[in-house]
Each structure stands twice: as structure tokens, then as C-alpha cells.
Amino acid sequence: MGANIIDGKAFATNVRRQIANQVQRLCDDHGITPGLAVILVGEDPASEVYVAAKHKQTVEVGMASFEHKLPADTSQEDLFALIDQLNSDPAVHGILCQFPVPDHLSERNVVARIDPAKDVDGLSVVNAGLLASGETGLVSCTPLGCLMLLRDQIGNMSGKEAVVIGRSNLFGKPMAQLLLQEDCTVTIAHSRTADLSAVARRADILVAAVGRAEMVKGNWIKPGATVIDVGITRIPHPEKPGKSRLLGDVAYHEALDVAAAVTPVPGGVGPMTIACLLANTLTACQRANGLEEIKDLTA
């Protein structure tokens, strides 16, 4: 019997539906509309696609979308002036600068300039520290989306052994912190981990986020494990010249024979990222206005 395929696209659609309901309620009961500001510096084609998708989904759930497209030669001073303006704008509850930015700008400095209460990407040192301390902050969107999928798939994760392959600030570290908060026993593995396949085979919950296509083979997976594949690598399509296809970090078809559940690529983790960006914007709006937060957007 094959693994359950976790449908991240359908799950994200449901999350956005719940967010739209909450946004409507905020507007009806309090006259408040959550606002998300997205900054795009330069003309990176992939970034333009992502920003367009974020704008579309922001508007669809009833939020205000503020787009700021700046030329590639924008100075750090001018970018910071815009961020400062958005920080002080009460109509803006979430701020996101689309990365990568041009080389003369520092992503770290850009993140640090955003008010942590509006840092809906959850990337600031303040929000990372709050998460690590078990305090209330804003959580990085992709790990938060993975946690939602895991809760839906497994329910109570207490006592489960979890292995996160990847130690990035963007994903690996916050994912491990979230799993710790679920009372999992957590190992962060990486490229220097000795006998990585043996470490992976211990996992009841295996999360792969290294960006190496199909690195995690079927024999790395504990029978009955839940596998979350965060990796995404574009390769030439073997049968369609000029076309490409997307692969995750997990050898998907091998995983289907071993795991209890697995996310596909595409259609697994990816759709959850924007859904959680909207969820964070809703949360930031509720906090800014002293209103009760909705803890479960998956009901």
C-alpha cells in the first residue's frame, strides 16, 4: 500500500478560505482591513512572478495589497526610507521585501530595518529569538506551513523523533524550534552529518530542506514515517527538449513505497508559504489592534 500524498494545494486553499472569513469579520465588526506591503527591488523575473502571486492572493482574501516596485539602482538610504514609512503606516500590518535584492543591498540589513511586529516573513533576529525562547512572535512562513501540514497529518506529535535535514536560518532552524514546541525529539542534520542516511532512518518525521534533487532515497526513510519535502530544484525535462521539471530533495516515487505520508513537489509545501504569509499578516493586524488571535486556521 502506497503512502498518503499530502495535498498542500488543497490544504492551502482551505487556509486561505478561513483567512478570508476572518478578514471579513474584522472589517464587519471593527472596520479594520489587514494590509500587506510588498517591496520589489529590480526586475528579477522569478521575483516578479512571486510578487504577482502574493498580490493576487492578498486581494482574494480581502486584504489591502500595497506594492512598491523600485529600480535596481535604488540606494539603501532610499529603501530604508520606504521601510520606515511603512513601519509607521497604521494601514500596513505586514511588510515583506522580496529577495534576492541587488548586490549593493544587504538582505540582513533590510530585514533588520522592518518593524519585527510587521515582519510577516518571520526573518528578523527578534522574531527568531522569540521563537527560540518559546515567546510569541511571527514565524517564518514555510516552516509554519509545514507545521500545519504535520498537525493535520499526524495530530499529536509528542514523543515523535523528528529529523530536519538543513540548518538554514530561513527554514531549518525555525522548523526545528517548531517541532521542539510540539514535544518532538529533534535532530538538525546537514551536509557534515556523519552517516546522514542512518540519522534520517531514525525519523518518525523527516523534513528535507537542502536543495539537492532527490538526495533522500527510499532506503533513508523509516517505514511509516511522515516525509515533508521542502526542496525544489529545476532540471531539464528528459523527454521534452527545452522544457524543465521540478524535483524535490526526496526521491518521491521511492518514498511512496516506504513512508506513511509524503508531500509532492510541486503541490506540497509550496502553496502553504503564501497562505502562511497571509496568516501572519492577519495575526499582525489582530495584535496591532489588541484583538483576539485565531489560533487554528485549518478548521
Q: Which residues are catalytic?
A: 54, 98, 121
Residues 6+ apart with CB under 8 A from 213: 231, 233, 235, 247, 248, 249
Which amino acid is it at 87? N
Q: Which of 240, 291, 228 is nearest to 265 (CA)?
A: 228
**CA distance to 122, 125, 249, per residue, from 105 (Å):** 19, 18, 30
Cis amide leading into 271 (omega within 30): no
d(CA 71, CA 138): 29
Residue matched to cell numbers 494601514: 91
For β-strands 226-229 and 205-208, DSSP reports them as: parallel
